[in-house]
Chain A
Amino acid sequence: MFRLKVADAKLLRDMASAISILIDEATFQITPEGLKLRAMDPSRVAMVDFEWPKTVFEEFVCTEPTKMCINISELLKLLKRAGKDEIIELALDEKTGRLQVKITGKYARTFTMPTLEASEEEVPTPKITFNVRAKATTDGLRQAIEDAELVSDHVRIEADNEKLVFQATGDLMGATIELKKGSDALLDLEAKEPSKATFSLSYLTEIIKAASATSDIATLEFSTDMPIKLDFQQAREGKLVFYLAPRIETA
């Protein structure tokens, strides 16, 4: 049994929205410590690692570890009904196996929605040695990605100790976006060695756009031709991390 109360309806909604970028059916783990989800998109190109310790919640009751799978876009529809300062309470009705979504504020309403068969798949976190670590504003990243998107459907991210460069090459046009270390957008940059890797913009754009709603600062980590880790810093103790597998660009 569990009952979770969230005071910040907007944050919960934005979080659900960020997760829904990659997956439809989301299997959450609820333990006495908090709420967790780690999942891959069906094509196994991207991964999301989300965690909200119980301290994030206004109220957190969980008697025993539970797995719950729900259709995240359906949940999102309900969450969108909540106003900014309203309180959302999630609870599992053990008799019916349905999730109760209670929104209270101006008035009270309770929705119920079905839970699905939980995925048994344990998704491990990728073990990668990253050579580059960059801390940037999510706004700066967004701008860079939107620039790149104008000319291509993928982008090469390169870094040395001076700058972080986004290089996009389309059939006709090209774009180079440079973020200098210490600039407004790029707060910090460390590179053990110059590195570069290419990523699909369709994933990258959606991830960055959705996650920026929850966070102002992101840490990027990558190595040459390896997956990239995007850690979106959360105001409270929560965690929202994405991994994205690279593309191989043959000459």
Chain B
Amino acid sequence: MLYSEIADVYEKIEATTKRLEMTDLLVGLLKKTPKEIIDKVVYLTQGRIYPEFVKLEIGVAERLAIKALAHASGRRESEIEEDMKKTGDVGETAQNFIARKRQITFFQKPLTVQRVYETFDKMARASGPGAIDTKVALLAGLLADASPKEAKYIMRTVTGNLRLGIADMTVLDALSIAYGGGKETRELVERAYNISSDLGKVAKVLAEEGLEGIKKFKVVVGNPIRPMLAERLSSPEEILEKLGGKCIAEYKYDGERIQAHKKGDEITLFSRRLEDISDQYPDAIELLRKHVLAKEAIVEAECVAIDPDTGEMRPFQELMHRRRKYGIEKAMEEYPVSLFMFDALYVDGKDLTLEPYPVRRKTLESIIQEGERVKLAKSITTDNIKDLENFFLEAIENGCEGLMCKSTAPDSIYQAGARGWLWIKYKRDYKSEMTDTVDLVVVGAFHGRGKRAGTYGALLLAAYNPENDTFETVTKCGTGFTDEDLAKLPEIMKKHVIPHKHPRVNSLIEADVWFEPKTVIEVLGAEITLSPIHTCAMNAIRQGNGLAIRFPRFTGNYRLDKAAEDATTTGEIVEMYQRQLKKIVES
């Protein structure tokens, strides 16, 4: 098959804005394509040479592409760059320059799809010190034989600018029509895609073996499954109603969703967008190696940044420090992660994607050995609105985004690649960001573990309620303390230790150590949220709930000048909450 046939179709696809027309053009192309290279043609139409989850990319920088074009056209790089300024498109510029080539070549040969694909493949695989020169030479070779139109698409492909706008779904439509027998077979074809994430493989099996081959498609360890997505609602009533009155509610952790594929000791991690992100999380891989008891498994987890000192969860943004190529060892130390497992899609030869969620969760529980840093996503099974609401507030306060509420019905399968009502996100509509520091009273403490053994892991802090003359808990704070602070704290607090909760302290939480309400420290939090466990301003905003400070951090200031009664009052906290309450705009 000649590459020009593909280039002609690209040109027509570019000219249309109608999806149906685009589909028809693709159908035409796919029918014309010899079956043995249909996978390659499918990848090429997506501007790729492998499925998305394969890490190899052609990866030619524009500068190098220009160099190759200069070589093949016999023109100077500066001339080409000048033209690029006008066209803004490396493809169009290539078309111009190949059309007006200065350099004659020997024996021009028409480009076949095979040759273009193989050359791209060689370019992608080139590595080592000479890789750049090799890539340029290979590209120049293609351009030397390319027509101006072919040159345009070759250049766009290698620089990652093909952008024909052919969605995966359009390819699936076209495949169903071309080889499935009609658009109505699309659902079957789509399932094969959803469990393999490999359009090329689906195309090839469908073209060569027909629908029978497609029906035999299986989940394969190493091929990412397209993730199941959730709808969203913001009231527990609606959620329970949608899910038939009962659901499994899980913490929706504020981390990165990962799909882990385990084959013996070999573990690959895929992101939500199916990129191989194994290199970012060597520690997560190590954890999974130890804590997943199955030989072969595909499991899903939320990977959350934790505070290395306290083990508390950190916001999602902290994970960005892990998106790097170099220095991952250091980032691992500074930004360690915990894993919260929530689904099992395949375990030791058994495809679980068509099993209801309670069965999958049970299977997951049977193969995960929990530990300090690997846990099952915290969950409850409930049919009660109030319980769901409280569990939600607890999740928020603990640093989660909210809840994932999942159907327990017999048909609650894993809908790979689909957004449906089997899973419903319960997130907040409003949040109240904190801008000022508060002065809080230390009323209790929790023993530290690990690095903090022998000192306190976190302090229980309270605001002052002048009406009742009580201290009402508002947060647990373990962040912001220097090693020196930590070393001194037991000494400083020693004289205030009492054997039980102080009568003026109002707390639903059991602390390990109780103090007289004397010491005041300055704290800055990220936001104030409704809380089912803290007593600060109980019932003031909502019946049965108090207020809590999320992501609190000690600023380093001991307010020795302040008496406990001079601390921030519960009334002030209510005011702060109300003043800053804003609707959350999803980005």
* A residues adjacent to B (C-beta < 8 A): 24, 40-45, 47, 73, 123-124, 126, 153-154, 200, 227, 243, 245-250
Establish whether residues A42 and B104, one from each chain, have CB atoms under 8 Å apart when the complex forms. Answer: no
Contact A44 B74 (CB under 8 A): no
Cβ of A45 and Cβ of B144 under 8 Å apart?
A: yes
Minimum distance in angstroms from A44 CB to a CB of chain B: 4
B468 at the interface (CB under 8 A from A): no
Of B16-24, B132-140, B234-242, B408-416, the one contacting chain A is B132-140
Contact B140 A248 (CB under 8 A): no
Per DSSP, are chain A's interface residues mostly helix, strand or loop, or mixed? Answer: loop
Give me 20 A-to-B residue pairs in the complex whose CB atoms sit less than 8 angstroms apart, sorted by A's number: A24-B130, A24-B137, A42-B140, A43-B71, A43-B144, A45-B74, A45-B104, A45-B105, A45-B144, A47-B106, A124-B107, A126-B106, A153-B76, A200-B74, A246-B104, A247-B74, A247-B102, A248-B102, A248-B104, A250-B102
Interface centre among A42, A153, A200, A245 (most CB of B within 10 A): A42
Distance A24 CA – B105 CA, assembled complex (angstroms): 19
Could you say which interface size class chain B belongs to?
A: 20 to 34
In the bound complex, do residue A44 and residue B102 qualify as a contact, i.e. CB atoms below 8 Å apart?
no
Check A245 against B103 for contact (C-beta < 8 Å): yes
Is A43's CB under 8 angstroms from B137's CB?
A: yes
Give per-residue flags for B127-167: 1 if the beta carbon is below 8 A from chain A beta carbons, else 0: 00010001001101101110000000000000000000000
Evaluate contact between B102 and A245: CB separation under 8 angstroms.
no
Closest A residue to B104 using CB positions:
A245
Cα A171 to Cα B355 in complex, Å, equals 73
The 8 closest A-B pairs by CB, nearest first: A42-B141, A44-B105, A245-B104, A42-B137, A43-B140, A43-B144, A247-B102, A44-B106
Is B72 an interface position by the 8 A CB rule? yes
B108 part of interface (Cβ distance < 8 Å)? yes
Indicate if the CB atoms of B144 and A44 lie closer than 8 Å: yes
Select one of A40, A200, A250 contacting B103, CB under 8 A: A200
Q: How many A-B residue pairs have CB under 8 A?
A: 60
Q: Are B137 and A247 in contact (CB under 8 A)?
A: no
Kindly list chain A residues whose C-beta atoms are within 8 Å of the C-beta of B108.
Answer: 44
Closest B residue to A74 by beta carbon equals B130
Q: Quote the shortest CB–CB distance from A97 to chain B (angstroms).
A: 20
A residues less than 8 Å from B76 (CB atoms)? 153
User: What chain B residues lie within 8 Å of A45 (beta carbons)?
Assistant: 74, 103-106, 144
The smallest C-beta distance from B129 to any residue of chain A, in angstroms, reads: 10
Among B108, B134, B141, B145, the one with the most A-chain Cβ atoms within 10 Å of its Cβ is B141
Nearest B residue to A44, CB-CB:
B105
Q: Which of B72, B102, B130, B134 contacts A43 (CB 8 A)?
A: B72
| Bound-complex Cα distance A20 to B143 (A) | 21
A20, B233: Cα distance in complex, Å: 66
Q: CA–CA, A41 to B134, complex, Å?
A: 12
Bound CA span A117–B102, Å = 33
Using CB atoms, name the residue of chain B closest to A249: B102
- Bound form: Cα–Cα A41–B137 in Å: 9
B105-119: CB near A (< 8 Å → 1, else 0) gives 111100000000000
Residues of B within 8 A of A246 (CB): 104
Q: Which of A24, A44, A73, A247 contacts B107 (CB 8 A)?
A: A44
Residues of B within 8 A of A153 (CB): 76
Q: Chain B, 66-108, contact with A by CB distance < 8 Å: what is the 0/1 string?
A: 0000011010100000000000000000000000111111111
Task: Evaluate contact between B130 and A73: CB separation under 8 angstroms.
Answer: yes
> In the complex, what residues of A have CB within 8 A of residue B134's CB?
24
Q: What chain A residues lie within 8 Å of B140 (beta carbons)? A: 42-43
Residues 30-63 of B contacting A (Cβ, < 8 Å): none
C-alpha gap A248/B72 in the complex (Å): 13
Query: Which residue of chain A has its CB nearest to the CB of B137?
Result: A42
Residues of B within 8 A of A245 (CB): 103-106
Considering only CB atoms, which chain A residue lies closest to B138 in the complex? A42
A245 vs B101: C-alpha distance when bound (angstroms): 12
In the complex, what residue of chain A is closest to B143 when comparing beta carbons? A43
Distance between B136 CB and nearest chain A CB, rounded to angstroms: 9
| Residues in chain B near residue A227, CB distance under 8 A | 104, 106
Residues of B contacting A44 with CB < 8 Å?
Answer: 105-108, 141, 144-145
CB distance from B121 to the nearest CB of A (A): 14
Instruction: Give every chain B residue within 8 A of A154 (Cβ-Cβ).
Output: 74
The complex places the Cα of A213 from the Cα of B76 at a distance, in Å, of: 29
Q: In the complex, what distance in Å separates the CA atom of A141 from the CA atom of B306?
A: 70
